[in-house]
Amino acid sequence: MAEIKAEPFAFPVKHGQLALIVIDMQRDFAEPGGFGASLGNDVSRIGRIVPDVKRLIQGFRRAGLPVIHTMECHRPDLSDLPPAKRDRGNPILKIGDEGPMGRILIAGEPGTAILPELAPIDGEVVIEKPGKGAFYATVLEEVLQRNGIRQLVFAGVTTEVCVQTTMREANDRGYECLLAEEATESYFPEFKAAAIAMIRAQGAIVGWTAHVDDILESIA
């Protein structure tokens, strides 16, 4: 397990310091009637990455490497929801409103759950986050430090919103970040392509990008 074939150059794997972080693979972003759809998005693209995200999760589990999951969600009393976030745009259903899968983006509601195919197993950390980035108002940094994790492979949705925000937060905190290209998706293919390009530009200014097969081969 020395390095992962990646862009803009090979990602140097450091033994015992690597974890997978799966961002917001929730029904709310992937299914009709959820938060993503309420914003006017065609959510059908999101479900198509599930097999690749699953392969990545299984590879990390097989290798005995940590898998961390995140969920974008808010408390039922909305005390962690800034009005600016609730009121932004003109969604069909706002965060906290009752939808076909329960209250939109509220912790514990059916629609807020992680997709069943990708569900966390016992012992895996799940970070509930009120923001787009997974460090803001969460214990993620503490969890990573306690486990000696310094390198993160990223999967999940959406590429240019919660994935990229978290990668940038992690990069600024000194973590080495690698985005798994087939295991991330956006509602806008052009935004996914742009996010991938800007992450690895300028000598990996935010981090590396790699194909799922190459990541799996290196950690096997």
Contact status, residue 95 vs residue 104, Cβ threshold 8 Å? yes
Which residue type sits at 77?
D
> Measured from the CB of residue 154, what is the shortest distance to ligand TIU in angstroms?
12
The partner residues of 30 in beta bridges, in order of sequence, read none
Rounded Cα distance, 150 and 19, in Å: 8
Which of these is catalytic: 94, 129, 132, 192? 129
Give catalytic status of residue 73 as yes or no. Answer: no
**Cα 132 to Cα 24: distance, rounded to the nearest angstrom:** 10
Nearest-approach distance from CB 2 to ligand TIU, in angstroms: 32
CB of 29 to ligand TIU, least distance (A): 6
Q: Residue 207 has which token pair?
A: 């981090």
- Other C-beta atoms within 10 Å of 164: how many? 27
| Annotated catalytic residue, options 28, 52, 73, 162 | 162
Nearer to ligand TIU, 38 or 218 (CB): 38
**Closest-approach residue to ligand TIU (CB):** 162
Our CB check for ligand TIU shows the closer of 158 and 218 to be 158
- The residues binding ligand TIU (CB under 6 A) are 24, 29, 36, 39, 72, 132, 157-158, 161-162, 187
Task: Please report how close the Cβ of residue 1 comes to ligand TIU at its closest, in angstroms.
Answer: 30
Q: Which is nearer to ligand TIU, 187 or 208 (CB)?
A: 187
d(CA 85, CA 219): 39
Where helices occur in the chain by DSSP H, the ranges are 27-30, 35-38, 44-47, 50-62, 83-87, 140-146, 164-172, 189-204, 212-219
Q: In the annotation, is 129 catalytic?
A: yes
Which residues are known catalytic residues? 24, 129, 162
